[in-house]
Amino acid sequence: MDTQKLKELYNSHSAARMILDHAARRHRNQSETKVDRILGILWSEGHDVSRGQVIDAFRRLEDLAAGQFVAGRRGWPSRFVWSVGMVSVGKTAAGEAEEIEQLPEEQLEEETGRELLAHTFHLRTDLQVTFELPPDLTPNEADRLASFIKTLPIETEQ
């Protein structure tokens, strides 16, 4: 991996910098990063970033041989599959490390063993929400989730 080009990407692409800063703060590597998950993390940190900007950053990281961007299809989420250690990529980009680590199996976070399916719901004409749920969601789990969602609205006086 060309570390000079990685540092150039870090300095010139704000979404890539946000993703790489997040990666550098992690303690353990992940084998993949889902687009919707990193978007949620970045938004919760107060960053103004779009889905398109995140995808563009992942495509540029793919060009640098950091991994592969996989567009979501048939219920599978869009994601970036890392071919090197994401923590060391983030630290190298920020100038905190000098070497990109290969992904040793023991450093990968344990996966749950099952994939989640993305379900998009048009809540309003101008707003979509996405839920990631197990493909074997039971009626009892669906009822529990529906009950939880009913507790979320905050009534406002009109």
Contact by Cβ (8 Å): 72, 79: yes
Confidence of residue 110 (pLDDT cuts 50, 70, 90): very low
CA distance 132 to 77: 9
* CATH class of this structure's domain 3-107: mainly alpha
Q: Match 């570390």 to its residue by tokens.
A: 3
Please tell me which residue, 104 or 53, carries the higher pLDDT value.
53
Confidence of residue 62 (pLDDT cuts 50, 70, 90): very high
pLDDT digits (tens, 9 = 90+) for 113-150: 456 677 888 888 888 888 888 777 888 888 988 998 88
pTM of the model: 0.65
Evaluate if residue 53 carries a pLDDT over 60: yes
Exposure string (b/e) for 40-76, b if CB count within 10 Å is 16 or more?
eebeeeebebeeebbbebbebbbebebbebbeeeeee
The whole-chain average pLDDT of the chain stands at 85
Contact by Cβ (8 Å): 102, 84: yes
Task: State both tokens at 140.
Answer: 């009892």
- Domains of the chain: which residue ranges? 3-107, 117-150
Q: Is 120 left (phi over 0), alpha (psi -120 to 50) or beta?
A: beta
CA distance 89 to 95: 10
